[in-house]
């Protein structure tokens, strides 16, 4: 018999049309922006403590970006029409903004990856033969110049690209928030704070996922987890989560204090339909607890054993990843739980397990970027450069492959 | 003019720029392939869509075409509460059943719970004098179990009361 309808709903407000896929879309996009900003902290602002993550964060950003459109394509159907948003933009539609921002951001990320890994590609080409050599030589576009001058130039261009990338990352994610913030018929969405909240929570989720992935990657590779790196990430994460949480709370407090007509519907929405996902998960379990855990890491970091620091920041990051997902859920699904009449609600929305846009499809899309990351790591290892000395590689591709 | 030596180590940059330029040009040129020829002829849509839609076979016939064979059902509905509901609204277009006066297939007879509750599930936004039920309550009151065709066990869709 399905859902219960409470109060006065317009007949066309009975269904949830924006499903779990639309929850995932800003979530995955947010991971991109956050990871990219961490990589830029190293490449642009020379935060040496983030050096171990400079390349990995870029690779993670690329992998998340590659799957960011999948939830939308699955939701809309006709995935073959997806690229049209880039090739044939309709400038009178807000979606054209997505096409342009997404495509140019993708370009910036790919170019930055190419310039960062170029010397590596040439080295791998020189060290291998046959198909593998051909593959890396093609990746390097057939130019084998690894002289000091060429690499200095690469460095300079990387820095410029990373600098261009920061405003683009902000725009891309701000834009996702804008899509919701610009829907004037829905008071739960239509606020100028929406793009800012989306942006900050995006950075939170991006840094959090890097803390988790960095620790896992070091465990798998048997490399040491750098104390400075984890401390720096925890500090940045704490800062951004405080800002993100503050903005989220400010929005609710403004609504609650003003008690304008929309509070009639938003108040009960938060107290009933979203009580678990908003109050329990987004604010307490995913907000307050990581705030305390990261606070301990930041304030008492100097006296702390590495293992405790790593565990605390790992737990806080996992909780924050859940918090940001809950925030996306509360925005996207919450905004559809009440009628435009402002007088009626649906009681629940539970996505099916095997539906086209159900839990299984969502899990598959969420796992995909991590698989991509494993493949990326295989082709272009992101941590190997840490142990190496820099200097002129002095490669001769016509010579026999070197051993070792 | 720059001395030639300053360009010595920029070969890879020229190559990646060339590749980028190539992709950009292909993208701009391919736009012509993807934008339909008749786009924008009348407005922000494909002009050819108009004759294409005009050329589609007419499948709906309206109530009068059903009445030609099913006058008894038509009259029953005219006198009942469903007088405002068109035949093809619940059944299928007459074209799926009769073409040029010849019956081609039996008509679809809908009787599903979902179809009925689409209009008659209780919703405060609907007018008070419109027949609405809370399906669960209604079934309990009449001591019936939920089946797909439970509504039509008591109600005749052509004249529900």
Does position A394 have pLDDT exceeding 50, yes or no? no
β-pairing, A5-8 vs A343-346, is antiparallel
Q: Would residue B21 count as lying in a domain?
A: no
The tokens 């999948």 sit on which residue? A70
- Do A32 and A68 meet the contact criterion of CB atoms below 8 Å apart? yes
Domain ranges, residue B95: 57-108
pLDDT tens digits along A127-163: 998 999 999 999 999 888 888 999 999 999 999 999 9
Per-residue confidence (pLDDT) for residue A403, from 0 to 100: 39
* B99: contact with A, CB 8 A cutoff: no
Contact list in A for residue B11 (CB cut-off 8 A) is: 143, 145
**Band of pLDDT at residue A360, cut at 50, 70 and 90:** very high
Measure the CA angle with vertex A288, ends A37 and A266; round to 5°: 90
Per-residue confidence (pLDDT) for residue A73, from 0 to 100: 93
Across the interface, do A145 and B12 touch by the CB < 8 Å criterion?
A: yes
**Band of pLDDT at residue A214, cut at 50, 70 and 90:** very high
Provide the residue ranges of all domains of chain A, joining segments of one domain with +: 18-182+350-382, 224-348
Asked whether residue B62 falls in the same domain as residue B92, the answer is: yes
pLDDT tens digits along A290-347: 999 999 999 998 888 999 999 999 999 999 999 999 999 999 999 999 998 888 888 7
Residue in chain A closest to B122 (alpha carbons) equals A5
Per-residue confidence (pLDDT) for residue A3, from 0 to 100: 58
Asked whether residue B148 falls in the same domain as residue B120, the answer is: yes
Does position A404 have pLDDT exceeding 70, yes or no? no
pLDDT tens digits along A37-83: 889 989 999 888 888 898 999 999 999 999 999 999 999 999 988 88
Asked whether residue B145 falls in the same domain as residue B114, the answer is: yes
Does position A7 have pLDDT exceeding 60, yes or no? yes
Asked whether residue B68 falls in the same domain as residue B96, the answer is: yes
Q: What is the DSSP letter of A63?
A: H
Contact list in B for residue A155 (CB cut-off 8 A) is: none
Asked whether residue B90 falls in the same domain as residue B134, the answer is: no
Asked whether residue B115 falls in the same domain as residue B160, the answer is: yes
How far off is chain A from B10, nearest CA to CA, in Å? 7
Q: Would residue B30 count as lying in a domain?
A: no
Asked whether residue B137 falls in the same domain as residue B90, the answer is: no
The stretch B100-126 carries a mean pLDDT of 88
β-pairing, B98-99 vs A5-8, is unpaired
Does position A390 have pLDDT exceeding 50, yes or no? no
Does position B29 have pLDDT exceeding 50, yes or no? yes
Plot region of A321 (φ>0 → left; ψ -120 to 50 → alpha; else → beta): alpha
Asked whether residue B136 falls in the same domain as residue B99, the answer is: no
Q: Would residue B142 count as lying in a domain?
A: yes
Per-residue confidence (pLDDT) for residue B118, from 0 to 100: 86
Across the interface, do A153 and B13 touch by the CB < 8 Å criterion?
A: yes
Q: Would residue B65 count as lying in a domain?
A: yes
Measured CA distances, B54 to A320, B40, B49, B65 (Å): 56, 18, 9, 21
pLDDT tens digits along A221-262: 999 999 999 999 999 999 999 999 999 999 999 999 999 988
Per-residue confidence (pLDDT) for residue B5, from 0 to 100: 57
The tokens 């559809």 sit on which residue? A336
CA–CA gap between residue A348 and residue A334 (Å, rounded): 10
Looking at every residue in chain A, the average pLDDT score rounds to 89
**Band of pLDDT at residue A401, cut at 50, 70 and 90:** very low
Residue in chain B closest to A149 (alpha carbons) equals B9
Plot region of A47 (φ>0 → left; ψ -120 to 50 → alpha; else → beta): beta
**Band of pLDDT at residue A1, cut at 50, 70 and 90:** very low
- Do A33 and A105 meet the contact criterion of CB atoms below 8 Å apart? no
Per-residue confidence (pLDDT) for residue B1, from 0 to 100: 46
Per-residue confidence (pLDDT) for residue A398, from 0 to 100: 47
The stretch A352-366 carries a mean pLDDT of 94
Size of interface A-B (CB pairs under 8 A): 60
Q: Would residue B133 count as lying in a domain?
A: yes
Sign of CA dihedral A383, A385, A386, A388: positive
pLDDT tens digits along A183-193: 888 999 999 99
Which of B11, B35, B146 shows the shortest C-beta gap to A88? Answer: B35
Does position A274 have pLDDT exceeding 70, yes or no? yes
Asked whether residue B138 falls in the same domain as residue B97, the answer is: no
Across the interface, do A1 and B146 touch by the CB < 8 Å criterion?
A: yes
How far off is chain A from B104, nearest CA to CA, in Å? 33
Asked whether residue B114 falls in the same domain as residue B159, the answer is: yes
pLDDT tens digits along B78-97: 999 999 999 999 999 999 99
Asked whether residue B119 falls in the same domain as residue B138, the answer is: yes
Total structural domains within chain B: 2
Burial A185-204 (b: 16+ CB within 10 A, else e): ebbbbebeebbbbbbbbbbb
From B90, B108, B126, give the residue that closes a domain: B108
pLDDT tens digits along A88-103: 888 888 878 888 888 9
CA–CA gap between residue A75 and residue A78 (Å, rounded): 9
Per-residue confidence (pLDDT) for residue A126, from 0 to 100: 92
């Amino acid at each position: 018999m399905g859902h219960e309808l409470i109060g006065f709903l317009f007949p066309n407000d009975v269904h949830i049309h924006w499903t779990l896929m639309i929850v995932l879309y800003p979530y995955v996009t947010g991971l991109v922006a956050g990871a990219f900003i961490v990589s830029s902290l190293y490449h642009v602002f020379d935060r040496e403590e983030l050096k171990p993550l400079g390349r990995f964060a870029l690779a993670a950003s690329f992998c998340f970006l590659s799957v960011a459109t999948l939830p939308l394509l699955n939701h809309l159907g006709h995935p073959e029409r997806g690229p049209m948003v880039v090739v044939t933009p309709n400038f009178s539609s807000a979606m054209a903004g997505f096409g342009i921002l997404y495509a140019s951001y993708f370009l910036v990320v790919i170019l930055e990856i190419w310039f960062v890994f170029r010397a590596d590609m040439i080295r791998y080409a020189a060290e291998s033969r046959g198909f593998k050599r051909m593959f890396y030589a093609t990746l390097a576009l057939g130019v084998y110049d690894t002289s000091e001058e060429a690499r200095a130039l690469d460095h300079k261009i990387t820095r410029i690209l990373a600098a261009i990338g920061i405003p683009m990352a902000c725009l891309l994610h701000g834009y996702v928030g804008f899509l919701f913030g610009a829907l004037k018929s829905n008071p739960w969405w239509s606020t100028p704070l929406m793009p800012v909240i989306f942006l900050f929570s995006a950075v939170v989720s991006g840094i959090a996922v890097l803390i988790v992935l960095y620790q896992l990657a070091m465990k798998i590779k048997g490399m040491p987890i750098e104390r400075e790196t984890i401390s720096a990430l925890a500090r940045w994460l704490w800062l951004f989560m405080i800002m993100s949480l503050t903005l989220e709370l400010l929005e609710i407090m403004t609504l609650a204090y003003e008690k304008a007509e929309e509070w009639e519907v938003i108040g009960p929405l938060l107290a009933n339909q979203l009580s678990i996902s908003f109050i329990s998960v987004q604010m307490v379990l995913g907000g307050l607890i990581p705030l305390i855990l990261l606070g301990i890491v930041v304030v008492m970091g100097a006296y702390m054993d590495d293992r405790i620091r790593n565990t605390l920041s790992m737990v806080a990051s996992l909780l924050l990843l859940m918090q940001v997902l809950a925030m996306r859920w509360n925005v996207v699904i919450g905004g559809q739980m009440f009628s435009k009449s402002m007088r009626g609600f649906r009681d629940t929305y539970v996505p099916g397990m095997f539906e086209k846009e159900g839990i299984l499809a969502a899990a598959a899309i969420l796992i995909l970027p991590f698989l991509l990351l494993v493949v990326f790591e295989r082709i272009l290892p992101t941590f190997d450069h840490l142990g190496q000395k820099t200097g002129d590689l002095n490669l001769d591709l016509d010579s026999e492959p070197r051993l070792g | 003019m720059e001395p030639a030596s300053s360009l010595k180590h920029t070969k890879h940059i020229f190559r990646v720029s060339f590749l980028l330029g190539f992709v950009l040009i292909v993208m701009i040129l391919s736009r012509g392939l993807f934008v339909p020829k008749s786009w924008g002829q009348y407005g922000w849509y494909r002009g050819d869509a108009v004759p294409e839609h005009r050329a589609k076979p007419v499948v709906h016939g309206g109530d009068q075409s059903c009445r030609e064979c099913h006058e008894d059902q038509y009259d029953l509905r005219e006198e009942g509460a469903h007088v405002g509901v068109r035949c093809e609204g619940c059944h299928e277009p007459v074209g799926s059943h009769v073409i040029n006066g010849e019956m081609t297939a039996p008509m679809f007879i809908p009787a599903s719970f979902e179809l009925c509750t689409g209009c008659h599930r209780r919703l405060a936004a609907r007018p008070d004098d419109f027949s609405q039920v809370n399906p669960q309550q209604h079934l309990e009151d009449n001591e019936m179990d939920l089946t797909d065709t439970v509504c039509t066990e008591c109600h005749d869709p052509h004249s529900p009361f």
